[in-house]
Amino acid sequence: LHDTVEDTDVTLEEIEDQFGPAVRKIVEGETKVSKLPRVSSAHPTVNGRASPRDVDEQAENLRWLFVAMIEDWRIIVVKLADRLHNMRTLAHMTPEKQKRISAETLDIFAPLAHRLGLWSIKSELENLSFLYLYPDEYHKVNSMVNQKLPRYQRILEESRASLEQALCDDTFMQRSVDKIEVSARTKELYSVWAKMKQNERSIHEIYDLVALRVTFETKDCRLTRLYSEAEGNGDVAEAERLKNAEESLCYYILGRVHDLFPPFPGRVKDYIAFPKPNGYRSLHTTVFAGEKQALIEVQIRTQQMHRVAEFGRAAHSAFNDKNATD
């Protein structure tokens, strides 16, 4: 329904009659957003445009206008989903449209997804934009990553299995945690390229190319729910106590990780004590793993932290809505 009013003769009143005022509000917001001016692109694939500085300022102004004019954050989520669908079908458009839409996506929509903490959407928007805007660089980085991955695959799987087993066998963890999972991931191509370009690094100096991610659910499955309820009721002291109970487990797991794998000096990042502006919370550490002492990153977070990391505010709101109906 997001572009029904703009593309057809259907009115907002008809939308409200059939789907209710909440849906009307979202559709109306989408219609307003679609009328925002387009950002000029200063990417090297588009010539004769504004300077990079002017474009950065214009993009920032549009992002703030986008957020300021919208009362309901769900409108932005729908708009991001619409843009993601457009990017997934971009192969059927002309090269000129591919570059223009990709530049706009990289300048406006990927940063918006980042601000909302919608990590999965942000990553896909960036990678697809990267492919169409900088195809040579995209394939070059992809080739470099694929050359390094075989060396990491066995080390990563062995490290994942040994860490998961150590945590499952830990007596304290058995008493405190109901479910624990250790998974492996590879850094997104756009993020690799951006880090190499920004810091003038080679692929061999990207220490978080591959990572292990530890997520867990506490034994008391009500802990996160109770924290959310206490926070909502204004019981600051109780909310803080419950939050600290889960957070302390993250730091305990960090200690167990360093018991198994020697840490790389200066590479512990505490986003629990110092969350990112978009709400991202996690512990990161880089360690030496395997016989060849390969560098891998380990991320540690609760299931709720992970949901917020992947889906941002939508995860927090969905969790509270679920609690309200339980």
So which residues are the catalytic ones? 6-7
Beta-bridge partners for 180: 216
Q: Which among 187, 88, 106, 110 has a CA at the least distance from the CA of 144?
A: 187
Rounded to whole angstroms, the Cα distance separating 9 from 15 reads 11
Q: Considering only CA atoms, give the Rg of the chain.
A: 22
The token duo for 201 is 């690094």
Q: How far is CA 300 from the centre of its chain?
A: 15
CB-neighbour burial class of residue 268 (10 A; exposed 0-12, middle 13-18, buried 19+): middle
Q: Cβ of 29: how many Cβ atoms within 10 Å? A: 21
- Could you give the C-alpha distances from 237 to 106, 226, 229, in angstroms and in order? 42, 12, 12
202: phi then psi, degrees, rounded to nearest 5: -90, 170
> Cα angle vertex 313, ends 114, 35, to 5°?
65
CA dihedral 30, 35, 38, 39 (to 10 degrees): -70
How far apart are alpha carbons 72 and 76 in whole angstroms?
Answer: 8
Q: Which residues pair with 299 in a beta bridge?
A: 213, 284
